[in-house]
Amino acid sequence: MISQSQEMRMRQRLTRQQVLVSRLLGLSSENLEQEIKKEVEENPFLEEVIEDTNPTSPSDNDSDSYPDELIDPNDENYTRSIYDYDDYRSARNRSDDSDGSTFQQADETSFQTSLLEQLRLRPLTERQMTIGTELIGNIDESGYIARSIGVIVDDLAIRRNLETTEEEVEEVLQIIQTFEPAGVGARNLQECLSIQLHRKDDSDTDADTLANAITVVDKYFDDLTNRRFEKICRQMEISEDDLQKAVELIRSLNPRPCDGSDSTAQTIIPDFYITRQGDHLSFSINERNLPKLRKDTAFIERLQNEASRQNATQQRETQKFIDKHTDDADIFISAVEQRYHTLHQVMAAILKRQHDYFISGDIADLKPMLQKDIAEDTGLDISTVSRVVNQKYAHTEHGVILLKELFSNAMAKDDGSDVTTKAIKEELKKIVENEDKTNPLSDEELRTLLQQKGFTMARRTVAKYREQLEIPTARLRKEL
């Protein structure tokens, strides 16, 4: 039987501006700069405001203080450090004759450019050049081949219309593995270390030690990674002293051949700058490279004047175009401003709760703090707070810190005081660093030592913290 009925439902739908604000909150200052430039290119009614400002001092609009003052970095009482903003700015705009002593703006693909230049210097056929170019394009930032040879063979057939075999690609890969830096083009850690060892000159390394190191890596790598030293000595028929020398040589190699070079340096551009005078803290939001936006009213008026001379159909189309892009411009400008005010709210609340930590820089002064605490302080949703602190950095006189690392659960010490889990992990890390490496501490022994320092917890909690710190088990920490 067919019947009709009415039903009332309530649904919450986010407006376009709310969606845009949420997306912009998750962006770092550098990514926001790119997003703004992209929007300016796509929306003809948005334009950048060109301001004649002093690049060495903050403008009135790009800094806020906590609670209501701004400490000018140019003030004589402001203590400069290697982390000052000028260093970051010069890193972004550094000319070739700079000393390179501070953070560098890196071209993430320049190491691949270097490999391509080395490839062109080799007497290769056009076919080999094509394969080599494809291989280099698949080398990640650490210097490893990121995909299997079989997949690269398929890519060559699909993308470059080149039918080849794994054997042919392997031959070209072996050529690339002779390039600098040593170890580049390896498919795994074992191959990376092996390449470096085979390229070592025994004129500056003891020949027996080098030979032992090559054998250990090529034949007993699994035993080495699992610290089965007695087995290696027995199989190779060498003494523990000889194995120790070989292991020390292996440890001197670079497991990530392309990391740490100027061509792959990663730049951290802070989203906040925190300064202090005595016990007073201030902060500014990094907007120095962000273009100021406004609507191009002159262009809008010109279009409207032209529309008045068009026929009815053209007028409707023109007005539709004007309305859409004007609305988009208003929404984007408002979203950027709302992002700024939200960042200000969250950072002010964090600074208030972690005042002692920002003054001293001592992890012991870091107070237990959850994202929901900041949400309650600011009246914002916890998801909004999460977006603000995610992948955001703050520059302090003690260094550059990741905001997310300021959040930590509380744990009660034996004396009744609260301590952050971060402080406990730091203590655990110190204990492991100072342990006897020939007889490393078990999780139970680590628990006992932590308990003696006032941190009472179960062994499984110690194991969880150890794993989070990426500290291996006692067996894998053992050394000769």
In this prediction, residue 11 has a pLDDT band, given cuts at 50, 70 and 90, of low
Report the C-alpha gap between 306 and 107 in whole angstroms.
45
Instruction: Assess contact for 403 and 283: CB atoms under 8 A.
Output: no
Within 13 A of 131's CA, how many CA atoms are on the CB side?
25
Instruction: Identify the pLDDT of residue 66.
Output: 38
Instruction: Identify the pLDDT of residue 431.
Output: 92
Report the C-alpha gap between 102 and 265 in whole angstroms.
11
DSSP-derived pairing of the beta strands 393-396 and 272-277 = parallel
Lowest mean pLDDT among 61-70, 129-138, 232-241, 279-288: 61-70
Instruction: Assess contact for 258 and 181: CB atoms under 8 A.
Output: yes
Instruction: Assess contact for 313 and 64: CB atoms under 8 A.
Output: no
In this prediction, residue 422 has a pLDDT band, given cuts at 50, 70 and 90, of confident
Q: Give yes or no for residue 56 having a pLDDT over 70.
A: no
Q: Give yes or no for residue 261 having a pLDDT over 60.
A: no
What integer is the mean pLDDT of 9-35? Answer: 77
Partners of residue 193 on adjacent β-strands: none
Buried b (16+ CB within 10 A) or exposed e, 256-279: bbbeebebbbeeebbbbbbbbeee
Instruction: Assess contact for 257 and 177: CB atoms under 8 A.
Output: no
Cα dihedral across residues 446, 447, 450, 451: positive or negative? negative
> Which residue shows structure tokens 């649904």?
11
The rounded percent of the chain whose pLDDT value lies above 70 is: 80
Lowest mean pLDDT among 80-89, 159-168, 431-440: 80-89
Instruction: Identify the pLDDT of residue 416.
Output: 61
What integer is the mean pLDDT of 373-380? Answer: 93
What integer is the mean pLDDT of 49-56? Answer: 53
Instruction: Identify the pLDDT of residue 95.
Output: 36
Instruction: Identify the pLDDT of residue 418.
Output: 67
**pTM for this structure?**
0.52
Q: What is the CATH number of domain 410-477?
A: 1.10.10.60
Who has greater pLDDT, 65 or 297? 297
pLDDT digits (tens, 9 = 90+) for 307-357: 888 888 888 888 888 888 889 889 999 999 999 999 999 999 999 999 999
Cα dihedral across residues 62, 66, 67, 68: positive or negative? negative
Average of per-residue pLDDT values in the chain: 80
pLDDT digits (tens, 9 = 90+) for 75-128: 333 333 322 323 323 333 333 333 333 333 333 446 788 889 899 888 899 999
What is the 3-state secondary structure of the chain?
CCCCCCCCCCCCCCCHHHHHHHHHHCCCHHHHHHHHHHHHHHCCCEEEECCCCCCCCCCCCCCCCCCCCCCCCCCCCCCCCCCCHHHHHHHHHCCCCCCCCCCCCCCCCHHHHHHHHHHHCCCCCHHHHHHHHHHHHCECCCCEECCCHHHHHHHHHHHCCCCCCHHHHHHHHHHHCCCCCCCCCECCHHHHHHHHHHCCCCCCCCHHHHHHHHHHHHHCHHHHHCCCHHHHHHHHCCCHHHHHHHHHHHHCCCCCCCCCCHHHCCCCCCCEEEEEECCEEEEEECCCCCCEEEECHHHHHHHHHHHCCCCHHHHHHHHHHHHHHHHHHHHHHHHHHHHHHHHHHHHHHHHHHCHHHHHHCCHHHCCCECHHHHHHHHCCCHHHHHHHHCCCEEEECCEEEEHHHHCECEEECCCCCEEEHHHHHHHHHHHHHCCCCCCCCCHHHHHHHHHHCCCCCCHHHHHHHHHHCCCCCHHHHCCC
Instruction: Identify the pLDDT of residue 34.
Output: 85
**In the chain, where are the structural domains located?**
13-98+267-407, 110-251, 410-477
Lowest mean pLDDT among 210-219, 283-292, 459-468: 283-292
Report the C-alpha gap between 404 and 156 in whole angstroms.
42
Instruction: Assess contact for 95 and 101: CB atoms under 8 A.
Output: no
pLDDT digits (tens, 9 = 90+) for 164-202: 999 999 999 999 999 988 999 999 999 999 999 998 876
Report the C-alpha gap between 441 and 431 in whole angstroms.
9
> Which residue shows structure tokens 């005595």?
278
Instruction: Identify the pLDDT of residue 76.
Output: 36
Sequence letter at residue 139: I
